[in-house]
Amino acid sequence: MAFDIINPATGEKIDSYAEMRPAQVQGVVEEAAAAQRGWAQTRFAERARLMRAAAEVLRANQGEYAGRMVAEMGKIHAQGLAEVEKCAWVCEYYAEHGEAFLSPETVTTEATRSLVTFPPLGLILAVMPWNFPFWQVFRCAVPALMAGNGVLLKHAPNVFGCSLLLEDIFRQAGFPQHLLRSLLIDIPQTTAVIHSPWVAAVSVTASVRAGRAVAAEAGKALKKCVLELGGSDAFVVLEDADVEKAVQAGVLSRFQNSGQSCIAAKRFIVVESVYADFEQRFVAAVAALKTGDPSDPQVDIGPLARRDLRDGLHDQVQRSVAAGARLLIGGEVPPGPGAYYPPTVLAQVRAGMAAWSEELFGPVATLIRVPDEAAALAVANGTEFGLGGSVWTRDLARGERIAAQGLQSGAAFVNAMTKSDPRMPFGGIRCSGYGRELSSYGIREFVNVHAVWVEA
């Protein structure tokens, strides 16, 4: 079987990769397991040195890496450069803080000495998506490696070129040759790798459907699993919000990466007293976005990663309009090659519509009018998802109360768009997954919380 890489901006085939044979996969897994056993014995200072070296490799080749993202999944070039820089940041963050996060903790008991240590689990299988082909991997792999684990990367087939570059980055930085390896495989072999005795745990960033499937296999094998799945983040605009600030942040949050982000603002829930002003400003800002070649620095919106994803998104829009949603802008598939879809805004979105209950993974925003704060929170929390969300208000105490106690999600922001940050835990609840990445919480996901009791 061959995996063809199609440039989503042109529809042209740019590469092809043969699927690894089972014997090859087995060999890679065993090599990675051997590398991890040695790596687990290294000092944190050595791990930190190599992490800083990885950051240097990333910055030295920033243009090349961004260009590969443009070619394979249609990312805007400037956004690709920013993604590489963020990967360098997470390397440096864990180089600085990793040892402290995993330092043994002394516990007072009747023993002579009792403590908790955090040794690595072993090999982590990372099943990763295409939308942030570098950052999603680094977000998982860097804390796992810093903790002493090894990583097997099963990337999305349409970004296998990125996957091989990622493997090479760690080699260039001086990490053991087989410590992070890319597996060019599809679903059946992924299942076999989950059940490999060398694999200790699984980390998945994917759709809800894919996450359920991988978690089910991990459960059968009694292996820990961290899931970061879909999202339908609420963007709540209250009557005392700075509407212009909310509009500018909302457009960036919704249409960044051509709308292909699980933590993008997807449902704009606006209190009635400011709804008309918000809608007018929002549509005007969306109309100003330029769609086109993702390598063009003047372009804001590139293609979706694949034509089938574009067609699925259009079907969701059409079903919503047929059910009574009002199309304010966009909503038509453009002619020509590529997987382009115009920036689209739907209003009068109600329960039962696709745009209400399904994740729209692309440049489509839904506007929902509500009477007050209580109704806004009821709509915000009335979803199967729970990844992130934001609330917009000039009353910071009110905003913090809503973010801390009102929004049911893994993260909530006040007067700021939802984003991932190495310093803060990242993950969701309900169908958005479980477990956390990043910060001290993320590095402890793939360690053994190990109790040690010593008596004289």
Evaluate whether 389 touches 231 at the Cβ level (below 8 Å). Answer: no
Residue 84 zone, left/alpha/beta (φ > 0; ψ -120 to 50; rest): alpha
87, 91, 225, 262: the catalytic one is: 262
Other Cβ atoms within 10 Å of 27 Cβ, number: 14
Please indicate whether residue 228 is annotated as part of the active site.
yes
Residues 6+ apart with CB under 8 A from 4: 13, 15, 16
Token readout for 87 is 């990967």
217, 228, 359, 437: the catalytic one is: 228
Please indicate whether residue 217 is annotated as part of the active site.
no
Q: How far apart are CA 309 and CA 330, in angstroms?
A: 17
3-state helix/strand/coil string of the chain: CEEEEECCCCCCEEEEEECCCHHHHHHHHHHHHHHHHHHCCCCHHHHHHHHHHHHHHHHHCHHHHHHHHHHHHCCCHHHHHHHHHHHHHHHHHHHHHHHHHCCCEECCCCCCEEEEECCECCEEEEECCCCCCCHHHHHHHHHHHHCCCEEEEECCHHHHHHHHHHHHHHHHHCCCCCCEEECCCCHHHHHHHHCCCCEEEEEEECCHHHHHHHHHHHHHCCCEEEEECCCCEEEEECCCCCHHHHHHHHHHHHHHHHHCCCCCEEEEEEEHHHHHHHHHHHHHHHHCCCECCCCCCCCCECCCCCHHHHHHHHHHHHHHHHCCCEEEECCCCCCCCCCCCCCEEEECCCCCCHHHHCCCCCCEEEEEEECCHHHHHHHHHCCCCCCCEEEECCCHHHHHHHHHHHCCCCCCEECCCCCCCCCCCECCCHHHEECCECHHHHHCCCECCEEEEECC
Catalytic residues: 228, 262
